[in-house]
Structure 1
Amino acid sequence: MSSSPVLNDDQWLKLLEYIAETYNEVTLSRGFTYFKQQRVATLSISEARVVQARVEESEDYSVTLHLDKLRASQCTCPVQTSCKHLAAVWMELADRLGYPASQIMNAKLHLKRASSISSSESALMQLPKMDVTGWQQFLDNYTSSVKPTYDQGNYVDLLRHQLQNFKKIFIPFSDTDRIFFDMYQELFILRKIKAQYAQGSVNYYTSSTLYRNYDEFHNWLKQKPAIINLSNSGERMEQTLNYLNQQMAGESGHSYQDYGVYTVLWKYWIAPDSEADHFVSKELDIIEKMINDKPSPSLSAAKAFLYLQQSKSREAWEALEANGSFKEAPAKLFIPFLNHLYDTQNWEELVFWLRRSSTFFNTKRTKELDAYTEYWKKAIQHFPQAEEHMWQVLEELLPHSFRVIEELLYEQGKWKPWLEMQILQGHDPLYHRIRVLQPIEKETPKLLLPYYHQAVDHYVSLKNRHDYKSAVRLLKRLEKVYKKMKQTEQWENFFSGFMERHSRLRALQEELRKGKLLG
Structure 2
Amino acid sequence: MLQTSLPKAILNETASQFQQEMAFPFYENAMKKGLKLYREGFVYNAALLDDGLVQANVLDRQIYKPILDLTDLPQSHCECSSSYICPHIFALFFYLYANVGSVGELVRKWNIKRTSVAPKLPKASEVVQPSASVHDWVKRFEHFYDQFLQNYRTIDYWFAHHLCYRFFPSLLEGVPYAGIEKRLYDLHAALFTFCRLVESGEQFQRISYQRSFWESAISDFVGVIHNKCSSFLNKPAPNASLLDESRKYVRNVLFASEGFMAMRIRVYQMVWNALFRGETWCEKEQEALQKRQEESSFADECLLALAHLAFLRGRDEEVSALLKDVRVAAIPYVLHWMRELALAGQWTRMKTWWELCMNSINLLFASSHYYKAEVTRELLYLSERYTHATGDQKHNETILRALLPYSASQYSHFLMSSKQYKKWVDLHLIAGIEIEEIHRSFLTTIEKHDRSLLLPLYHRGVQKMIQAKNRPSYKQAVRYLKKLRTYYRALGRYDVWLVYREKLLEKTKRLRAFHEEMQKGKLLHD
Question: Which TM-score applies when normalising by structure 2?
Answer: 0.60
Aligned mate of 1:133, from 138, 159, 172: 138
The count of corresponding residues between Structure 1 and Structure 2 is: 399
Give the match for residue 333 of structure 1. Answer: 333
Confirm whether residue 363 of structure 1 aligns to residue 366 of structure 2.
yes
Quote the Cα distance in structure 2 between the aligned partners of 1:112 and 1:391: 64
Distance 1:238 1:447, change over 3 A: farther
Q: Deviations over 1:351-370 (max 9, x none)?
A: 34235434433424513355
Give the match for residue 207 of structure 2. Answer: 203
Aligned mate of 1:288, from 281, 290, 304: 290
Aligned mate of 1:314, from 312, 317, 324: 317
Distance 1:215 1:392, change over 3 A: closer
Give the match for residue 301 of structure 1. Answer: 304
Quote the Cα distance in structure 2 between the aligned partners of 1:408 and 1:477: 27
Give the match for residue 452 of structure 1. Answer: 458
Distance 1:238 1:130, change over 3 A: closer
Quote the Cα distance in structure 1 between the aligned partners of 2:437 and 2:312: 48
Give the match for residue 81 of structure 1. Answer: none
Report percent identity of matched pairs. 16
Give the match for residue 22 of structure 1. Answer: none
Distance 1:101 1:465, change over 3 A: closer
Letter in 1 for 2:146: N
Letter in 1 for 2:138: T
Q: Secondary structure at the match of 2:141?
A: helix
Q: How far 1:301 sits from its partner (Å)?
A: 1.1
Q: Deviations over 1:468-513 (max 9, x none)?
A: 243256468779x95xx99499899969996997699775588689
Q: How far 1:433 sits from its partner (Å)?
A: 4.8
Give the match for residue 83 of structure 1. Answer: none
CA contact (8 A) 2:435 2:458 kept: yes
RMSD after superposition: 4.8
Confirm whether residue 227 of structure 1 aligns to residue 234 of structure 2.
no
Quote the Cα distance in structure 2 between the aligned partners of 1:409 and 1:164: 49
Distance 1:122 1:497, change over 3 A: closer
Q: How far 1:168 sits from its partner (Å)?
A: 10
Confirm whether residue 430 of structure 1 aligns to residue 436 of structure 2.
yes
Letter in 2 for 1:335: L
Q: Deviations over 1:191-239 (max 9, x none)?
A: 3332234346631233323432343344444445553224346555554
CA contact (8 A) 1:128 1:172 kept: no
Aligned mate of 1:215, from 216, 219, 222: 219
Q: Secondary structure at the match of 2:237?
A: helix
Q: How far 1:258 sits from its partner (Å)?
A: 1.1
Structure 1 residue ranges without an equivalent (≥5)? 1-94, 395-399
Structure 2 residue ranges without an equivalent (≥5)? 1-104
CA contact (8 A) 1:190 1:214 kept: yes
Distance 1:405 1:427, change over 3 A: closer
Q: How far 1:178 sits from its partner (Å)?
A: 4.3
Any residues of structure 2 matched to 1:369-384 within 5 Å, and which? 369-372=376-379, 375=382, 382=390, 384=392
Give the match for residue 96 of structure 2. Answer: none
Give the match for residue 21 of structure 1. Answer: none
Q: How far 1:262 sits from its partner (Å)?
A: 1.5
Give the match for residue 265 of structure 1. Answer: 271
Quote the Cα distance in structure 2 between the aligned partners of 1:281 and 1:266: 13
Higher Rg of the two aligned structures? 1
Quote the Cα distance in structure 2 between the aligned partners of 1:476 and 1:125: 89
Letter in 1 for 2:335: I
CA contact (8 A) 2:171 2:189 kept: no
